[in-house]
Amino acid sequence: MKQSQQSNDPLASPPGMISVTVDGRTVLVPRTMPDWQGRQVPTTMLQACELAGVTVPHYCYHPKLPVAGNCRMCLVEYGVPALGPDRKPVRQPDGSLVIKKSPRPAIACATPVSPGMEIYTSTPTVKLMRQSVLEFLLINHPLDCPICDQAGECKLQEYSVEYGRASSRFAETKVHKNKQIDLGPRIMLDQERCILCSRCIRFTRDVVGDDALGIINRGSYSAIAAYPGTTFDNNYTLNTADICPVGALTSKDFRFQMRVWFLKETMSLCASCGTGCNIVIGSRENCIYRFTPRQNDAVNSCWMCDYGRLNYRWIERTDRLTRPGGSKLTSPDWEDAINGIAAALKKAVPGHIAIVASARLTNEELYLVRRLAQFLGAPTDCVPRSGPADNLLLCADRNPNTKGAQLLGIAASPPGVNLPVFARLIRNGTIRSLLVFGEDVTRHGITADDLARLDFLAASDIHTNGTTAVSHYFLPGCAHVEKRGSFTNVHGRIQRFEKAVDPPGLARPELHWLRELVCRVTGQSMGGTVESVFEAMRAEVPAFRNIAWADLGDHGVATHG
């Protein structure tokens, strides 16, 4: 280390900062950094190394879990400034510090840094320690990668490439454990693959608050287990399969379905409640295989609930609407459908038309609905959905974009309060035309008999439903995984998502045909991309002012709502 300038003295850092040297590179790191709960605690070696651009391999450490320090993969060597008899740092003639190397290594995940500390992550000793830990982890490991779902995203595999031996020195009989433990309704456990990092235990106990998992037996015979007589069943169990660094915990939903390296990864959001957990959609050849959480500390940390994660199979249902239709449409032709609806709307009289739009539609789509409603002088509302909330992520509002619908003036206050009004106005003949986007109003207080009274009814949805069945025109919409757009979550955070798979048949994203409808009905022109609709929206709606599409990035931003 070269620190000849006193001004660069590692012991004279700016307030709140500490100077440490990682593999010869001196960096200033904050004195404290957030721990797994976000509390400021002394910065660890591992965090300092990250800031210095050096990744320290690890298994048990997870930034969102309490530190366990059990895998020993992150052992590093280090030194601290030597102190003289006067308890003051000893300096070289050039003023640089004399570093006293510790005779014992330290786990980077749990050891705080101190001023002037030097961390060595790539010495022969450190490399040997990593090789040894890896060898120890593998001696009783079944090495069944060819049939293991974790293959391709397995830390054992990854570190084996870097630190593994080509052949095993282990000539004894391996410890055999249970390879197929039905831990709970959604999780399978292979005890032989487990490296006992305890991430699953810590997550379940400390994040979920369910003391369901533990370790039984001891030494090399140790194994993860659910508490005797219980099953591992809370709404967050599948996160343990995500954080399991090996293939010990697997999702019953995903196991044996697809090799992970074949999966296309799409940045998206969970649409099952108003929280808006950030996710990655794993798909291949237009088929969705899994949702996994994507870290966003402002929303869902690294987690998502099982309910939201598994709520995707309906997308492949066979009763999807795949083409435009309705009693007044003679052929399944988009042009005819839009023209027919536009013609009817041009004749609609303000005060005699209403719109119900789903709070599952995107901000951009709801903005187009707003344009339409404003032009037509139509009152609007959404269909509220609710269910029990829990104390972690699942929120009572089961629509992904209620907040967006509120900010855009689509949702009544409270949402849904207009629906019985609409029903009454249909029955007394005031409302003569109704547009329903993405909902089945026959399940929400407006009966099929009510709908039969209307002069004009156009509806859209993803599946056939009671409303589309009696519509003059119906249009096939898209699941959110089949389109791009943004949702505003219950806390007012606007986040974008990308398209993972194509919609079935002739179905098109709502944004596309809503824009055509708006242009046709109002005579205004407007760009056809999500970005251009977003631009128009933010110019008009105060809650989105000063937010550019590009600002949304991967993690979204707070609206002004």
Partner 1 sequence: MPSERHLILKNIRKPGYSTDIECYLRHGGYQALRKALALQPVAQPDGTAIGPKEQIRREVEISGLRGRGGAGFSCGMKWSLVDRKSGKPIYLVCNADESEPGTFKDRQIIHRDPHQLIEGMIIACYANDVHLAFIYIRGEFIEGARILERALEEARAAGFLGRNILGTGYDLDIYIHRGAGAYICGEETGLIESLEGKRPYPRIKPPYFPAVLGLYQCPTIVNNVETLCAVKHIVDMGGAEYARLGTPDNTGTRLVCISGHVKRPGCYEIEVGKVTFRDLIFDEAFGGGLHDARQLKAIIPGGVSAKVFRAGEKVRVTKRAADGKMFETEMDVLDLPYDFTSVSAAGSMSGSGAIIVLDDSADMVEVLANISEFFAHESCGQCTPCREGSLWMAKILRRLAKGNGQPADLALLLSVADQIPGGRTICAFGEACSWPVQSLLVKFGDEFRAKVQATADKRPDRAFAEVQ
In the three-class reduction of DSSP (H, G, I as helix; E, B as strand; rest coil), residue 72 is classed as coil
- Please list, in sequence order, all residues whose beta carbon lies within 8 angstroms of the beta carbon of residue 266, skipping any fewer than 6 positions away: 280, 281, 283, 481, 498, 499, 500
- Three-state DSSP class for residue 262: helix
Q: How far is the CB of 122 from partner 1 (least distance, A)?
A: 17
Inter-residue contact 64 to 42 (CB < 8 Å): no
243 is a contact residue toward partner 1 (CB under 8 A):
no
Binding partner 1 (rule: CB under 8 A), the pick from 32, 122, 157, 222 is 222
Stretch that binds partner 1, among 89-97, 134-142, 496-504, 537-545 (CB under 8 A): 134-142
- Nearest alpha-carbon partner for 239 in 149, 300, 303: 303
Rounded to a whole number of angstroms, the minimum distance from the CB of residue 366 to partner 1 is: 50
Angle in degrees, CA 493, 496, 499, rounded to 5: 155
Is the CB of residue 269 less than 8 Å from the CB of residue 499?
A: no
- What would the x/- binding string for partner 1 be over residues 433 to 462, using CB under 8 A? ------------------------------
Nearest approach in angstroms of CB 57 to partner 1 is 13
Among 12, 83, 98, 215, binds partner 1 (CB under 8 A): 215
Q: How far is the CB of 66 from partner 1 (least distance, A)?
A: 11
Residue found under tokens 């009814």: 457
Looking at the Cβ atoms of 4 and 217, the one nearer to partner 1 is 217
Query: Considering the rule CB under 8 A, would residue 137 count as an interface residue with partner 1?
Result: yes
Q: Which is nearer to partner 1, 115 or 400 (CB)?
A: 115
Segment near partner 1 (CB under 8 A), from 102-110, 177-185, 274-282, 447-455? 102-110
**Minimal distance, residue 69 CB to partner 1, in Å:** 4
Coil/strand/helix, residue 182: strand
Identified binder of partner 1 from the candidate list 218, 229, 256, 388, rule CB under 8 A: 218
Q: Which of 124, 219, 229, 350 is close enough to bind partner 1 by CB under 8 A?
A: 219
CB of 237 to partner 1, least distance (A): 22
- Contact characters 282-321, partner 1, x per CB under 8 A: ----------------------------------------
Taking alpha carbons only, the member of 420, 350, 408, 406 closest to residue 379 is 350
Residue in 5, 220, 286, 331 binding partner 1, rule: CB under 8 A: 220
Give the total of residues touching partner 1 (CB under 8 A).
41
Binding mask 138-177 for partner 1 (x = CB under 8 A): -xx----------------------------xxxxx-x--
Q: Smallest distance, Å, CB 508 to partner 1?
A: 54
User: At its nearest, how many Å lie between partner 1 and the CB of residue 167?
Assistant: 13
Candidates 101-109, 295-303, 429-437, 512-520 — which segment interacts with partner 1 by CB under 8 A? 101-109
Return the HEC string of 322-384: CCCECCCCCCCCHHHHHHHHHHHHHHCCCCCEEEEECCCCCHHHHHHHHHHHHHHCCCEECCC
CA proximity to 74, closest of 62, 84, 86, 92: 62
Binding letters toward partner 1, positions 179-208, x by CB under 8 A: ----------------xx------------
Single-letter residue type at 501: V
Three-state SS for 406-475 is: HHCCCCCCCCCCCHHHHHHHHHCCCCCEEEEECCCHHHCCCCHHHHHCCCEEEEEECECCCCHHHCCEEE
What amino acid occupies position 221? Answer: Y
Query: What is the Cα–Cα distance from 420 to 423, expressed in whole angstroms?
Result: 5
Terminal C-alpha separation, the chain: 52
- Residues within window 57-96 making contact with partner 1, judged by CB under 8 A: 67-73, 75
3-state DSSP assignment of residue 558: strand
110 binds partner 1 (CB under 8 A): yes
What tokens appear for 333 in the block?
A: 């032709």
- Dihedral sign from CA coordinates of 434, 537, 295, 263: positive
Beta carbon of residue 76, minimum distance to partner 1 (angstroms, whole number)? 11
Angle at 539 between CA 537 and CA 540, to 5 degrees: 65
Q: Which of 107, 281, 366, 517 binds partner 1 (CB under 8 A)?
A: 107
Tokens representing residue 64 in the block: 């969102």
Question: Is 173 or 318 the residue whose CB approaches partner 1 more closely?
Answer: 173
Closest to partner 1 by CB, 73 or 80 = 73
Is 128 a binder of partner 1 (CB under 8 A)? yes
State which of residues 4, 92, 217, 330 lies at the interface with partner 1 (CB under 8 A): 217
List the beta bridge partners of residue 356: 381, 436
What is the total residue count of the chain?
A: 561
Backbone angles phi, psi at 164, to 5 degrees: -80, 160
One-letter amino acid of 499: K
Nearest residue (CB) to partner 1, 144 versus 554: 144
Q: Is 124 in the site for partner 1 (CB under 8 A)?
A: no
For residue 112, the minimal CB distance to partner 1 (Å) is 7
Give the DSSP per-residue string, 129-140.
Answer: HHHHHHHHHHHT
CB 352 within 8 A of CB 431: yes
CB of 225 to partner 1, least distance (A): 12
Q: Using CB under 8 A, which of 142, 152, 214, 445 touches partner 1?
A: 214
Where along the sequence are the contacts to partner 1 (CB under 8 A)? 67-73, 75, 103-107, 110-112, 128-129, 132-133, 135-137, 139-140, 169-173, 175, 195-196, 214-215, 217-222
